[in-house]
């Protein structure tokens, strides 16, 4: 006998039509999992034509505008850069809201919580529900369907979105009311990007003293300070693997700027956040915005007059 919950899930899958906007590094794998796992999918046209064409081969259809995407969908997933892009897709000319129909919008972007809360209030009067469901992990996890999701919003809306989220996530946490998911995401990124800044500065100091990245790694790896983020970071440091952690320094700076605004609005002191943001700002303003987060280590080393490359010769 099929459990009642599974019957309900299958019925929903046969009825809910999914729209997806933002098939970039993360979104491509997410969208592919959605369509491959039985949902009817429409994707918004994107500059990455290779991603669009791949998804169409998997059975997705393409919409030319956000309004057209809304007309073809019951639930719309957004995976774009941040709040300005979300607001443009939702409330801009030919945006999702212009379709004038009830929708559930699930914002998987890393957005400003204040924008998310304001947008949710504005949309509710139009019969549109919004939940914020940002992501953790990497594009490889998006492809594998093993992302982590932290979701804020109304309980009923969250449960309605859950079967879709489960197609690309292995861990889903309901964090509370709308905006709490994006708040948690900023805290999550503060911790991870803070580690990136710490690793980078420690490696530069070590290189100054003749301690190579390989020696540093031999001490940290397998100990209490080891973690998956450390391991992907050091895939670049030691192996020069550019695919290890594909998250741009410019996006890190954007997230840390959101954190700073959130701290200011909350009246909270955030001195470590300011220091981490400055490390990313320095990298971006010196022309490294499109480099990935582990490459912060090279920027920091260079500014200190040393190199972390295996063949480098540094002063004792």
CA proximity to 297, closest of 284, 308, 289, 285:
308
Query: Which ranges of 16-174 does DSSP label H, i.e. alpha helix?
Result: 27-36, 49-57, 66-71, 83-91, 113-124, 139-144, 155-165
**Burial label, 120 (beta-carbon count in 10 A; 0-12, 13-18, 19+):** buried
DSSP letter at 271 equals H
Identified catalytic residue from 32, 126, 171, 185: 185
Q: Where are the beta strands (DSSP E) in the chain?
A: 17-21, 40-44, 61-63, 75-78, 103-107, 128-132, 135-136, 147-152, 169-176
> How crowded is the C-beta side of 167, counted as CA atoms within 13 Å?
22
Catalytic annotation present for 185: yes
Phi, psi of 148 (to 5 degrees): -105, 140
3-state secondary structure of 39: coil
Active-site amino acid positions: 185
């Amino acid at each position: 006998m099929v459990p009642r919950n599974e019957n309900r899930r299958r019925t929903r899958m046969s009825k809910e039509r999914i729209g997806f906007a933002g098939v970039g590094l993360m979104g491509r794998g997410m969208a592919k999992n959605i369509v491959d796992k039985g949902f009817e999918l429409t994707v918004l046209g994107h500059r990455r034509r290779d991603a669009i064409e791949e998804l169409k081969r998997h059975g997705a259809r393409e919409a030319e505008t956000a309004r057209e995407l809304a007309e073809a969908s019951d639930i719309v997933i957004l995976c774009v850069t941040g709040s300005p892009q979300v607001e443009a897709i939702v409330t801009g000319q030919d945006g999702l809201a212009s379709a004038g129909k009830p929708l559930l919008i699930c914002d998987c972007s890393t957005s400003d919580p204040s924008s998310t809360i304001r947008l949710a209030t504005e949309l509710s009067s139009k019969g549109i529900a919004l939940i914020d469901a940002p992501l953790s992990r990497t594009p490889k996890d998006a492809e594998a369907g093993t992302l982590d999701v932290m979701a804020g919003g109304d309980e009923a809306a969250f449960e309605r979105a859950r079967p879709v989220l489960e197609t690309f996530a292995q861990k889903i946490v309901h964090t509370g009311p709308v905006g709490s998911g994006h708040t948690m995401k900023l805290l999550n990124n503060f911790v991870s990007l803070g580690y990136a800044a710490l690793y980078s500065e420690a490696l530069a100091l070590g290189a100054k003293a003749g301690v190579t990245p390989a020696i540093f790694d031999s001490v940290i790896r397998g100990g209490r300070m080891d973690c998956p983020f450390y391991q992907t970071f050091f895939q670049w440091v030691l192996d020069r693997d550019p695919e290890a952690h594909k998250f741009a320094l410019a996006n890190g700076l954007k997230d840390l700027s959101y954190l700073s605004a959130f701290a200011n609005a909350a009246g909270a002191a955030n001195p470590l956040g300011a220091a981490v943001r400055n490390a990313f700002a320095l990298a971006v303003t010196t022309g490294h915005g499109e480099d990935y987060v582990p490459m912060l280590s090279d920027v920091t080393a260079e500014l200190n007059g040393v190199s972390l490359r295996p063949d480098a010769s540094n002063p004792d």
